[in-house]
Structure 1
Amino acid sequence: MKKGNGCNNCSHPNCAYSLNTNGVSSCVECELGVLVLDPSSGPKWKLGCNRCDIIINLFEDAQKIAVIDEEVCECGAQLVTVEYKSDKTKFADDRTEMSGCIFCSPHFSNLVEKHKAVSFARSNNRRPVRPNNRVTRGGARPKPKDKMAQLAAYFV
């Protein structure tokens, strides 16, 4: 694995966080990306593309989510198993565990939301702002030389 890559690009067969273990489907936005389940994101579970900035929030408050290795949906996505605690279940018939495709299953459709991660780029042409929202021209003010001038500057 290249230096600086995250676990969602790792292809190690024994890693619990790898692309091979948690890859669900190809990305819905970009051609080369794979949507990978982040196993440490619970209870606000999410899938993230390993190439672009698409994030899919799913199954909030679920106790456990696992990708089923052997089974694949007709759409090409891996099936997932979702487990809720009995008091927090969000399935219609109060079941605590259900398996299916996150894209095709009618039981999962209202529990899946697609988002785009936003990166805030800071512009370099802004002046620094002080805590009281005054814009500075840069550089610190020189200290007054005598004690009376310091007190006068303090109370102004």
Structure 2
Amino acid sequence: MNVDGRADDCVTLTCDQRFLRRWRLVSDGGLAFLVDLARITLLNEGDVLVLEDGLTVKIRAAGEPLYEVTGPDLVRIAWHVGNRHTACQIDPGRLVIQRDHVIRDMLGCLGAEITEVEEPFLPEGGAYGHGRTHGHADGHSHSHDHDHGHARNHAHAP
């Protein structure tokens, strides 16, 4: 982070794009770098990658097409979403899921009210810290003083 607490650059990614282990990214400012993490990780809004040269890149969640799910029996609806291992953002009074017509139809049969929205998708991480909708980088990354034999700028996280 800079002296004023800001990152040097940022990269804006959808939820699916933020779920990675090793991937070449290009920041919003045009900086190309390689992310090389120890395990598959969901990078969250606000996480910061530290590149080998010390530059910092903040993660921004991009707006994407989603369903906002509401209804009088939201706990029951949430159970059905989870039972299908569907990534889900849980907010007061609503669930947010990625658009999927099969899940939409099922939730409609359960009495859910479904609205199409476009906003950043910030799903829950999960209880066990692994899998498709589990785990995140907690904003930690580290640099190495040894060569990995690829692009100069790349980031690591534990």
State TM-score, norm by structure 2. Answer: 0.23
**Larger strand percent:** 2
The one of the two structures with greater contact order (alpha-carbon pairs below 8 A, sep at least 6) is 2
Q: Which has the larger radius of gyration?
A: 1
